[in-house]
Each structure stands twice: as C-alpha cells, then as structure tokens.
Structure 1
Amino acid sequence: MNTSSSHRVIVIALLIAAIACYLLIEPYINSIVLAFIISLLIYPLHQHLEHKLARHKNFASFLSCVILTFIIVIPLLFVFGAIVQQGARFSQNLYQWGTHGGVQEIFNHPWAVKAMAFANTYLPFSEINPTEIAQKVAQMSSQFGSQLVGMSARLVGDATAFIMNFFLMLFVLFFLLRDHNKMIRTLRHVLPLSRSQEDKLLEEIEKVSKSAVMGSFLTALAQGFAGGIGMWIAGFPGLFWGTMMGFASFIPVVGTALIWIPASAYLILTNDTSWGIFLVVWSIAVVGSIDNLLRPFLMQGSAGMNTLMIFFSLLGGIHLFGLMGLIYGPLIFAITIVLFNIYEEEFQSFLNRQDKS
C-alpha cells in the first residue's frame, strides 16, 4: 500500500471514528457546548485562581465550578420560588375571574361589541357568540386546577432534568478549565492551518460564543427586568410576568409583544384604559428599545456579521436547534465567514487571475 492510499485509509477511519464518537455524546452535546461557552466567560477568573493556587490545578478548577454554582444556582432558587408563588396567585385570580363573569364583562365593552359586530358582518366565519365563548372560558377555568397539577408535575420533571444537565455541565467545565492550555495546544497541532489562520479561527469562535451569550441572554434578562417593572406598575405580578417576557424575548419577530399586547388589551377592555396605554408606551419605548439597541451592540463585530446576518443566524438557529440555536446559529455563520476569508487568502492569486480573464 503506497503512502497516499495509507493516508486515505487513515482519514476515512478517523472520520468514521469521529462520527461514532459524536453519536455517543450527541445526547449530552448541549451540556458540553454550554460548558465550553462558560469556560470562555469565566476563564479570566479561573486564571486568577490558578495563579494563586499554582500547585493545585484540580482545586482551582473545583473552586471555579463552586463559585459558578453559587453565582447561578442560589439566585435562581430565590427567583424560582418567587415565580412559583406569584404564578400560583395569578392562577387563582384567573380562575376567580373566569368563573365570575370576567369574560362577559370584556365582551360588553363598547370596543369589543363593535369588533364583534364587524367580525360577524364582514369576516367569513360562523357567527361569534360572546355567551358561548364566556361559557367555554368558564369551563376551561373550572378545569384549571387539574391542569395546574399536570403542569406542576412536568415542571418538576423539567427541573430535575435541568439539575442533571447542570451538574453534567459542571463536570465537563472542570476538565475544560483544568486542561485548557493542553486542549488548545492539541487543537492547534491537529488543525492543518497556519498559526495566523488558527489564531483567527479560534479568536472568532471565542468572540462569537461570548457575544451570542451576552447578546441573547443579557438582552432577555434586561427585557424581562424592564418588562417586569412595567407589568408591576400596571398592576400585574411583576416577577412572574417579567420572567415570561424574558423567555418570550427569545422568540424572533414576536418577542415580548406576545405578553404585553394581551395584557394591555385586557386593561383597556376592563376600563383601565390609562394603565393599558401606559403599558403599551412602556413596552414599545423601553422594552422594545432594549432589543433594538442592546442586542446588536452586544453582538457587533463578529466576523463582519451585519444585523441581517445576525437576525437570520438567530432565526435559523432556533428553528434547527431550539433555544441552543441562539448560540449555534451565530457560531455556524461566523465560522463559515472566517473559513471563507481563509479560502480567499489561500487562493488569492488564482482568484485575481480569474478576475482578469
């Protein structure tokens, strides 16, 4: 077997082995990627600890993981407890409102009467009967208790899965922090690129990973905080609805409007018009401006990605990978752009000849 054939066999075998390894870790890939991203974010802190504990690398990595746990888990426990409390209170109020004529009161509002008349006259639907709708809402409200029990069971299951994934992420993070330099050296050694190209690729992966986390999650946190303040001022449970607005901000195009539009409509239709208008103005001027200004600012400068690219990377990432697509999407776009730049540099003379031909 000649050298080229031997090399071909080795590359094919390596690819098959790499695919097999990916299939083995695929159920845990999100935890591994999160550990990688977080290791980039907290590496400066870990370097400081490692410098202080130069002879105890294992303990330095363990200490970094413990600090991260306290930073993330302890605040989350307090917030989660408050959300559950406010959510339970809201569900009780919703049940009372639905079973004591609240829906009928909304349909009696002049605007609702006009909208219903317009719909029944011009829209190609069967006639909308407010009484029937009120009865169905009351029936759904009466079943809300049993539904809440089912939701609580699912929530406990989700919380259990989150805890397991979190500790798996910590386990991976420990080794990423401890062996960071060794992994980087190995990666540089096996990549068939020049040192400058490796630097460009690795720097861009780090930059985009950080900007994706900062751009998406910090924007969601800021929008949830601002939205929660607006909802609290308007008379809703602030922490609960602020959290819901934070999650809604991850949804492209619709975003936080999924929460504040129904809330504003409810206030207006229940004769709290001034508070409804206030919530609309607050949500557009304050909450909306955060998304328009903060997200592009935090994600700017990533591999030359403009706002349109960032938008489609987030939209496509969520479509393909779910919530983790907020990281995967920009990362895939950025790596593609860097590889295209490397291709352009490597084949510059050929491309110039093509342009002149």
Structure 2
Amino acid sequence: MYAKLETRTFLAMLVGVSLAFVLLMKPFFGPIFWAVAIALIFHPVQQLLVRKFGDRPNTNALITLFICMVIVVIPVLVLVTSLIAEGVGIYQQIQDGDIRPGEYIDRVNQSFPAIQSFLAQFDINFSELRDRAVSFFVGGSQFLAKQAIGVGQNTFQFFLGLALMVYLAFFLLRDGSKLIELLIKALPLGDERERLLFAKFAEVTRATVKGNLLIAIIQGALGGLIFWMLGIGGALLWGVVMAIVSLLPAVGAAIVWVPAAIYLAAVGDVLEAVILTAFGVVVIGLADNILRPIFVGRDTKLPDYIVLLSTLGGIVMFGINGFVMGPLVAALFMAFWGIFIREFGHEDHRAQFTESEIDDSGPESP
C-alpha cells in the first residue's frame, strides 16, 4: 500500500515538474521548434558527412549548420527585410494618396459591370465587398509597417531567438539520435509505437518544411518574376504573398494573380492580362502538381481539406509557426488513430469470428 502511494506521488510530481518545465520553455517555443526542424531536415546531410569524413560529431554538426545558414537562414533574413521595407513603402504611398485601392476596384467594376450583376445573384453587395477589400489591403500594409517598427524595437529579442535556434540546432544535429533513444526508453508507449510516431513526426516535418515550403517559394518566385516582367508594382511583395497563400490548398497563388489579371484587362492591357493568366495557369498552377509528389511524396500527403483546416487552425493557435505545426498535429492525430485501429480496432471482430468458428464446428468428438 505504502509502495503504491510512493509510486503515485512520484508520478504526480513527475507530471507537475514536466508541466512546469514546458511552461518555462514556452517563451522560446519558436526557436526550439525551428531548431528541431533544422536538425530533421539536414540530418541526411550530416549522415553524408559522417560517411565521408568519419564519426566526428562536432565537426560534422558545425559543417551541417554552416550549410543551413548559407542556403536557408541568411536568404530568409534578406527576403524578410526586403519584404518589410517594400510593405512599408506601399503603406506610405497609400497614406500619401499615391495608391488608391478603391479606385482600382472601381475601374474593374466600370470595365466589367457583369461582375456586379453576378455577385448580386448571390445577394453580395459590391460596395460592401469593395470596402472590405480596401480595408484588407490597407490593413495588410499597415501590419507590415508595424512589423518593421516592432523588429526595430525588439532587435535584441529577435537576434536572441535566432542565436538560440542556431545553438540548439547544433546540439540536436550532434546528439539527436541519442536524445531519440533516450525518449524511447522514457516514454511508456511501447518501443515500436514510439519509433513509428517519431518516424512520422520526422517525415511530416520534413515534408511540410522542406517540401511545402520549397514549393511555396518556387511558386512565389515565379509569381514575383512574372509581375516584375509585366511591370506590376510591388513584385517582391506580391511574390511573397503568393508564396504564403500557396501553402493553402484550394486557395493558392491564384488569389493574387487572378485579380491582377482582371485589373490589367480592365485598364486595357489585354496582352499583359493574357500572358499573366496563361503563366499563372500553366506554370504557377502546374508547379504544385508536378513538384509536390517529388519533394513531399504521395505517402506523406494529407488530404487537401485536412491540410487547409489544420494550416488555418495552426496559424490561429501558433502564429506564423502554425503553417508547419498545424499539419504536423493533424498528421500525428491520424498516426495515433492509425495505430489504434491497427492494434485494437479488429479485436472484437476477431473474437466474434473465433466464437462463430467454434459454434459451426459442432460438439467436440470424445
């Protein structure tokens, strides 16, 4: 009796201390998560270095981390800085009256009055839709301006998070395999299940970050390139926006280039509108269908509606990290239920089948 009480008390304190530790790490959730993602994505690079240079944990981890910094971290920092600067510029032009989103929408309405008639069939008020679109556009540029101010005011905090991410990524690259084995020993889920879940976690993280993010970058780059070639202002900004919305299935980059093509047609630039439409459908649209099976793989792809809902829910819950965290949680949810169905879902059926076999076989012979 006393031994059971000791065990329960220890387990309760273990859970309490673990929860306290999680809350303690909560302010650094973003850097920790991205450090784990970097370690998972660049693990094959580290394994290649091990085969080439031998088992030198510190050296191999440093080289892998340097490669990650050169091809991922530094370009992303440059892109984000340029994006914020361009967003601030557009916001300033809106404030000065140089850009009037409402006039652009009115110009489209004057050139294509059928749009207003079509929306009226669904009881959609064009004026309200126009005001919401203008508010969304102004609000988006204002958000980028606030982000620029926030980055400037919180420079120390930003670089602290970046340094923490790089620091943790080094140790995860070096000691990641040992940490996984330690967790497998500690968690009471069964070694086979734990290995399956860790493998699923790594698989989905690589697919979401490396695959979906790379595809989004390619689509955004293609969209920004065609905008720049056609002389559309803010090509970098719209390219990044297309990259972001490309993460959402059933939405995609078309939410940006379709209105742009309509506006070009409305102002009389028919050739440019045709080029943008053809490029959007053939190049940007098909890039997802061609590249996703290559980079992501068909086995790891969640249904589009699950990806859409989990991505939106993840962004609401986790912020910018949610575009990875949302699909990851959804994939682990499906993995857990897959294990449950595989191991427990057919037990009752097997028991009934065994009983029916016994009944049909008749009485046992003496």
TM-score band, normalised by shorter chain: 0.7 to 0.9
| Contiguous gaps of at least 5 residues in structure 2 | 356-366
After TM superposition, the score normalised by the length of structure 1 is 0.76
Match of 1:165 in 2: 161
Counterpart among 178, 182, 185 of residue 182 in structure 1: 178
Whether 2:214 is the aligned partner of 1:221: answer: no
Structure 1 residue 187 displacement after superposition: 1.0
Structure 1 residue 103 displacement after superposition: 3.5
After TM superposition, the score normalised by the length of structure 2 is 0.75
Match of 1:37 in 2: 37
1:61·1:177 contact (CA, 8 Å) conserved in 2? Answer: yes
Distance 1:75 1:89 in 2: 21
Distance 2:5 2:289 in 1: 55
Structure 1 residue 309 displacement after superposition: 3.5
After TM superposition, list the pairs within 5 Å mapping 1:226-245 onto structure 2: 226-236=222-232, 237-245=234-242
2:104·2:263 contact (CA, 8 Å) conserved in 1? Answer: no
Give the letter for the 1:256 counterpart.
A
Match of 1:325 in 2: 322
After TM superposition, list the pairs within 5 Å mapping 1:94-173 onto structure 2: 97-98=98-99, 103=103, 107=107, 110-111=110-111, 152-154=148-150, 156-157=152-153, 161-173=157-169
1:227·1:287 contact (CA, 8 Å) conserved in 2? Answer: yes
| Residues 273 and 157 of structure 1, relative CA distance in 2, 3 Å threshold | farther
| Contiguous gaps of at least 5 residues in structure 1 | none
Give the letter for the 1:172 counterpart.
L
Match of 1:212 in 2: 208
Deviations 1:149-185 (A, max 9, x none): 7664245357765433222111211221222232122
| Residues 37 and 127 of structure 1, relative CA distance in 2, 3 Å threshold | closer
> Cα RMSD (Å) of the superposition?
4.2
Structure 1 residue 317 displacement after superposition: 2.6
Give the letter for the 2:26 counterpart.
E
After TM superposition, list the pairs within 5 Å mapping 1:73-112 onto structure 2: 73-76=73-76, 78-79=78-79, 83=83, 97-98=98-99, 103=103, 107=107, 110-111=110-111
For residue 192 of structure 1, give the secondary structure of its aligned residue in structure 2. coil
Give the letter for the 2:246 counterpart.
S
Match of 1:25 in 2: 25
Structure 1 residue 31 displacement after superposition: 1.5
Alignment: residue pair count: 344
Distance 1:331 1:90 in 2: 35
Match of 1:300 in 2: 298
Q: Percent identity?
A: 28
Distance 1:286 1:3 in 2: 68
Structure 1 residue 306 displacement after superposition: 3.9
Distance 2:49 2:202 in 1: 21
| Residues 354 and 49 of structure 1, relative CA distance in 2, 3 Å threshold | same
Distance 1:315 1:57 in 2: 39
After TM superposition, list the pairs within 5 Å mapping 1:274-293 onto structure 2: 274-293=271-290
| Residues 292 and 160 of structure 1, relative CA distance in 2, 3 Å threshold | farther
Distance 1:97 1:233 in 2: 22
